[in-house]
C-alpha cells in the first residue's frame, strides 16, 4: 500500500487508525486551518531561531517568506523548531552538539506528517546537522541558508567577522594597538544579522551545499539583509511543494559524484577545513566515503579561483555580486560530474548550460588564470597522523611548507592557556607548537588549532609558526596549521607520545607529517598512556561513548549505516 500523504502520513499509534486520523484533524482544526488547507501536501520548515544565535536573527522573516512560497504553490507550510547552535555561545563547543541537532532534525522530519521539508540554517554547525539529519531521514528536503553578514567599517577599512576579529586581536597581542582601539573595533566587526562575512565554515558549507545540489541555484551567497534573500526563501518554499508532489530524495542528490563536486568547489573556494569533517559526515550518512588519496587528487587537480578572506581579500557580499557559486561551477565545468541531480529537478549540466552575463574577475578568477593551480586543502599522513590530518595550504606560509623543527608541547587547553604567554617559555621562532588532547574525545574538538603565537615572539614580530593539534580551526582563521590529527591523543594516537624537544617534520610536497622519534620509543611512551574518564551520565556520556574520529566526520557510530 502506498504511504499516505499530507496529514494522514505517519499516524500516531492508538491501535485505531481512523480514530488517530479523526483526532489529528480535530487538533489541526484548533490551529484555525480549513479543510482545504488540511488537504494539501505538507511542507515542514525546520527552524532554529534563538536569542543565543545572532546568525539566525532574521530567521522568522525568512520562515514567513518560505511559508508564502509554499502557500502560493498549493502546499501547507508547517514550521517546527529544532535546537539552535550559535557558534560562540556554546560551551564547551558547538561541535559537541552538531550530532544532537542532526538527530533532532532526523527524528522530527520522520516523526511528523510532512511530504517535504525546508531546513533553514546558517551558523557553522547548523547546515551540516540539517543535511546529516535529512540524509538519514531521506524524505524530500531542501536547504535554505540565512546568508552572510555585511561588512563594517573602521578608519576607512572594511571589517568582517571573524577573520578581522582575529587580525585585530593578534595586533593587540603583539602590542601594535591598545585596549581602547581593540574595544572600538569590537562593535564594528559583526554589524548585521547573518553568518560570518568571510569564506568561513558557514559560508563554505552554504556554497558546497549549493554545489552538491541541496540548495536552490544562486542562493548560497545572497547577504542576509538583501531583499533577494527573501525572494530566495519564497522560491525555496515553492520548490519544496514541487518536491512534495514529485519526490526527489536526498539519497538521489547526495551521491558519490555530487560529494566529489562539493569537494572540488571547496578546493576552488579555499574554503574551511571544517567542511572536510562536515562533508565527510553528511556523505557518511549515506555510506559514501572519499579516501584521503581521492581528496588530495581532487585538491591537486582543482585550481583555487576565489579571492576571499581568510585566504584572500574580498568578503561574501563581493562573492555574491561577482557571480557566486554559479560562476565557480561554470569555471570548473570540465572537472565536475554534470549529471548530478539538484533539488530543483534539473541536472548540474542544465543548471550551468547558459553562461553568466557578467562575472567580477577580481573576485572569481577564470580557470586559465587561477589564484593557485591547486586547491586550498590537503590531507597529510605520516607517523604523527597515521589516519590523517588536514592542512589548509591556501592559508599557510609557503616558506614553512618543508620544515623540520623542535616540538614545544602543550598537554591540553588548560596547559596552553597557562603557559603560552609565560615569558619563561622555552620557544624559538622555528619551533613547532603542538597541542594535545583537543580532539573529539579529548575536548569535543574546539576551534583551538589556531594556537596563538607566544606573546614574546609575537611582540618580536613573528607572524606565523607551524602549529599541530587534534583540534579544529575556525574557517575564518589562517596560518601554517596542521589540524584534525588522527588518531587523536585522547584515544592513544602517536600525538599522545610527543614530548617537548622531539623533532617533527612537515612536508607539504609529500603530504606528510612525521614524528622523528623511533617507533619503539613511541610505543614505550604509550605504554603508560591512559584514556580520560568517560562522563557518567547524560548527553556528554553518549557523546564520548559514540563519537568517531575526524576522518569519519566525528559522527556517532550508531548514526552511520
Question: From CA 447, how far away is CA 472, in angstroms rounded?
Answer: 5
Q: Cis peptide leading into 92, omega within 30 of 0?
A: yes
Closer CB to ligand FES, residue 147 or residue 551? Answer: 147
**Nearest-approach distance from CB 277 to ligand FES, in angstroms:** 16
Closer CB to ligand FES, residue 196 or residue 506? Answer: 196
Burial 168-189 (b: 16+ CB within 10 A, else e): bebbbbbeebeeeebeebeebb
Question: From CA 544, how far away is CA 561, in angstroms rounded?
Answer: 19
* 88 near ligand FES, rule: CB under 6 A: yes
Longest dimension (CA), the chain: 77
Do residues 494 and 384 lie in contact, with contact meaning Cβ atoms separated by under 8 Å?
A: yes
* 195 near ligand FES, rule: CB under 6 A: yes
* 55 near ligand FES, rule: CB under 6 A: yes
Closer CB to ligand FES, residue 124 or residue 234? Answer: 124
**Burial of residue 440 (number of CB atoms within 10 Å: 0-12, 13-18, 19+):** buried
Stretch that binds ligand FES, among 5-13, 171-179, 194-202, 247-255 (CB under 6 A): 194-202
Question: From CA 413, how far away is CA 436, in angstroms rounded?
Answer: 8
Number of H helices, E strands in the chain: 21, 14
**Nearest-approach distance from CB 450 to ligand FES, in angstroms:** 14
User: Which residue shows C-alpha cell 529544532?
Assistant: 82
Stretch that binds ligand FES, among 193-201, 235-243, 363-371, 460-468 (CB under 6 A): 193-201
Cα–chain center distance at 356: 28
Specify the 3-state DSSP secondary structure of 169. Answer: helix
Question: From CA 472, how far away is CA 255, in angstroms rounded?
Answer: 26
**Nearest-approach distance from CB 275 to ligand FES, in angstroms:** 13
Q: What is the DSSP string of 279-323?
A: HHHHHHTTT----HHHHHHHHHHS-B-B-BTTTSSB-HHHHHHHT
Strand partners, 382: 385
**Nearest-approach distance from CB 25 to ligand FES, in angstroms:** 40
Closer CB to ligand FES, residue 274 or residue 302? Answer: 274
Instruction: Find the binder of ligand FES among 43, 45, 96, 123 (CB under 6 A).
Output: 123
Stretch that binds ligand FES, among 135-143, 196-204, 416-424, 489-497 (CB under 6 A): 196-204
* 83 near ligand FES, rule: CB under 6 A: no
Question: From CA 62, how far away is CA 234, in angstroms rounded?
Answer: 8
Instruction: Find the binder of ligand FES among 40, 42, 62, 87 (CB under 6 A).
Output: 87
Stretch that binds ligand FES, among 109-117, 129-137, 192-200, 363-371 (CB under 6 A): 192-200
**Nearest-approach distance from CB 186 to ligand FES, in angstroms:** 15
Do residues 288 and 259 lie in contact, with contact meaning Cβ atoms separated by under 8 Å?
A: yes
Query: What's the Cα-to-Cα distance from 317 to each of 188, 269, 308, 376, rounded to whole Å?
Result: 16, 15, 10, 21
* 191 near ligand FES, rule: CB under 6 A: no
Question: From CA 313, how far away is CA 127, in angstroms rounded?
Answer: 25
Closer CB to ligand FES, residue 134 or residue 202? Answer: 202
For 103, phi then psi, to 5°, come to -70, -40
Do residues 307 and 371 lie in contact, with contact meaning Cβ atoms separated by under 8 Å?
A: yes
Choose among 58, 55, 120: nearest CA to 90: 55
**Nearest-approach distance from CB 57 to ligand FES, in angstroms:** 11
Closer CB to ligand FES, residue 144 or residue 248? Answer: 144
Closer CB to ligand FES, residue 40 or residue 56? Answer: 56
Instruction: Find the binder of ligand FES among 45, 46, 127, 202 (CB under 6 A).
Output: 202
Query: What's the Cα-to-Cα distance from 400 to each of 168, 385, 459, 465, rounded to whole Å?
Result: 23, 19, 20, 8
* 124 near ligand FES, rule: CB under 6 A: yes
Closer CB to ligand FES, residue 123 or residue 559? Answer: 123
**Nearest-approach distance from CB 272 to ligand FES, in angstroms:** 10
Closer CB to ligand FES, residue 146 or residue 552? Answer: 146
Helix (H) or strand (E) holding 379: strand 377-382
Closer CB to ligand FES, residue 129 or residue 384? Answer: 129
Total chain residues near ligand FES (CB under 6 A): 9
Choose among 247, 21, 11, 232: nearest CA to 140: 247
Closer CB to ligand FES, residue 123 or residue 390? Answer: 123
For residue 448 the three cell numbers come to: 583551538
Stretch that binds ligand FES, among 9-17, 37-45, 195-203, 219-227 (CB under 6 A): 195-203
Query: What's the Cα-to-Cα distance from 53 to each of 170, 431, 524, rounded to whole Å?
Result: 25, 38, 47
Q: Spell out, one character per residue from 394 to 433, where the chain touches ligand FES: x when CB under 6 A holds, - when not.
A: ----------------------------------------
Kindly identify the residues of this chain, within the stretch 137-176, that bind ligand FES according to CB under 6 A: none
**Nearest-approach distance from CB 329 to ligand FES, in angstroms:** 23
**Nearest-approach distance from CB 164 to ligand FES, in angstroms:** 12
Closer CB to ligand FES, residue 90 or residue 276? Answer: 90
Question: From CA 383, how far away is CA 437, in angstroms rounded?
Answer: 17
**Nearest-approach distance from CB 403 to ligand FES, in angstroms:** 31
**Nearest-approach distance from CB 123 to ligand FES, in angstroms:** 3
Choose among 84, 90, 351: nearest CA to 214: 351
Closer CB to ligand FES, residue 243 or residue 316? Answer: 316
Kindly identify the residues of this chain, within the stretch 304-343, that bind ligand FES according to CB under 6 A: none
Closer CB to ligand FES, residue 87 or residue 317? Answer: 87
* 132 near ligand FES, rule: CB under 6 A: no
- Binding residues for ligand FES, rule: CB under 6 A, are 55, 87-88, 123-124, 195-196, 200, 202
Amino acid at each position: 500500500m502506498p504511504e499516505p500523504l499530507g496529514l494522514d502520513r505517519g499516524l500516531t499509534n492508538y491501535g485505531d487508525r481512523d480514530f488517530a486520523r479523526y483526532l489529528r484533524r480535530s487538533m489541526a482544526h484548533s490551529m484555525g486551518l480549513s479543510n482545504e488547507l488540511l488537504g494539501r501536501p505538507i511542507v515542514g520548515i525546520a527552524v532554529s531561531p534563538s536569542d543565543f544565535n545572532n546568525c539566525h536573527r532574521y530567521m522568522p522573516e525568512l520562515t514567513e517568506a518560505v511559508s508564502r512560497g509554499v502557500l502560493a504553490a498549493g502546499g501547507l507550510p508547517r514550521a517546527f523548531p529544532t535546537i539552535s547552535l550559535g557558534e560562540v555561545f556554546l560551551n564547551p563547543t558547538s561541535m559537541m552538539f552538531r550530532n544532537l541537532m542532526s538527530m533532532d532534525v532526523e527524528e522530527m522530519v520522520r516523526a511528523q506528517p510532512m511530504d517535504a521539508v525546508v531546513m533553514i540554517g546558517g551558523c557553522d554547525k547548523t547546515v551540516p546537522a540539517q543535511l546529516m539529519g535529512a540524509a538519514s531521514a531521506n524524505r524530500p528536503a531542501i536547504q535554505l541558508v540565512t546568508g552572510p553578514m555585511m561588512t563594517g567599517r573602521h578608519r576607512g577599512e572594511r571589517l568582517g567577522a571573524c577573520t578581522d576579529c582575529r587580525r585585530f586581536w593578534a595586533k593587540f597581542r603583539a602590542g601594535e594597538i591598545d585596549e581602547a582601539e581593540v574595544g572600538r573595533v569590537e562593535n564594528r566587526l559583526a554589524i548585521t544579522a547573518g553568518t560570518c562575512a568571510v569564506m568561513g565554515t558557514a559560508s563554505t558549507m552554504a556554497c558546497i551545499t549549493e554545489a552538491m545540489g541541496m540548495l536552490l541555484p544562486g542562493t548560497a551567497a545572497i547577504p542576509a539583509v538583501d531583499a533577494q534573500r527573501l525572494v530566495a526563501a519564497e522560491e525555496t518554499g515553492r520548490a519544496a511543494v514541487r518536491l512534495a508532489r514529485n519526490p526527489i530524495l536526498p539519497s538521489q542528490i547526495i551521491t558519490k559524484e555530487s560529494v566529489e563536486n562539493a569537494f572540488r568547489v571547496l578546493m576552488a573556494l579555499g574554503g574551511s577545513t571544517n567542511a572536510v569533517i562536515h562533508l565527510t559526515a553528511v556523505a557518511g550518512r549515506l555510506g559514501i566515503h572519499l579516501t584521503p588519496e581521492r581528496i588530495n587528487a581532487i585538491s591537486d587537480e582543482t585550481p583555487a579561483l576565489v579571492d576571499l578572506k581568510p585566504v584572500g581579500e574580498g568578503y561574501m557580499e563581493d562573492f555574491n555580486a561577482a557571480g557566486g557559486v554559479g560562476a565557480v561551477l561554470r569555471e570548473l565545468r570540465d572537472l565536475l560530474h554534470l549529471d548530478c541531480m539538484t533539488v530543483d529537478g534539473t541536472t548540474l549540466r542544465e543548471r550551468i548550460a547558459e553562461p553568466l552575463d557578467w562575472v567580477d574577475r577580481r573576485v572569481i578568477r577564470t580557470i586559465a588564470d587561477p589564484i593557485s593551480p591547486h586547491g586550498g586543502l590537503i590531507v597529510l599522513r605520516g607517523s604523527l597522523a597515521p589516519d590523517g590530518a588536514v592542512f589548509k595550504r591556501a592559508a599557510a606560509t609557503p616558506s614553512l611548507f618543508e620544515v623540520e623543527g623542535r616540538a614545544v608541547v602543550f598537554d591540553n587547553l588548560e596547559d596552553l592557556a597557562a603557559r603560552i604567554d609565560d615569558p619563561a617559555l622555552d620557544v624559538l621562532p622555528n619551533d613547532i607548537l603542538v597541542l594535545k588532547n583537543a580532539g573529539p574525545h579529548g575536548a569535543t574538538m574546539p576551534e583551538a588549532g589556531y594556537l596563538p603565537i607566544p606573546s614574546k615572539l609575537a611582540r618580536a614580530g613573528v607572524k606565523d609558526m607551524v602549529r599541530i593539534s587534534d583540534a579544529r580551526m575556525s574557517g575564518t582563521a589562517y596560518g601554517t596549521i596542521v589540524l584534525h590529527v588522527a588518531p587523536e591523543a585522547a584515544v592513544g594516537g602517536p600525538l599522545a607520545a610527543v614530548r617537548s624537544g622531539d623533532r617533527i617534520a612537515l612536508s607539504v610536497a609529500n603530504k606528510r607529517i612525521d614524528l622523528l622519534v623511533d617507533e619503539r620509543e613511541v610505543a614505550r611512551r604509550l605504554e603508560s598512556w591512559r584514556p580520560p574518564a568517560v562522563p557518567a551520565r547524560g548527553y556528554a556520556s553518549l557523546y564520548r561513548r559514540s563519537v568517531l574520529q575526524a576522518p569519519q566526520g566525528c559522527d556517532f557510530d550508531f548514526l552511520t549505516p
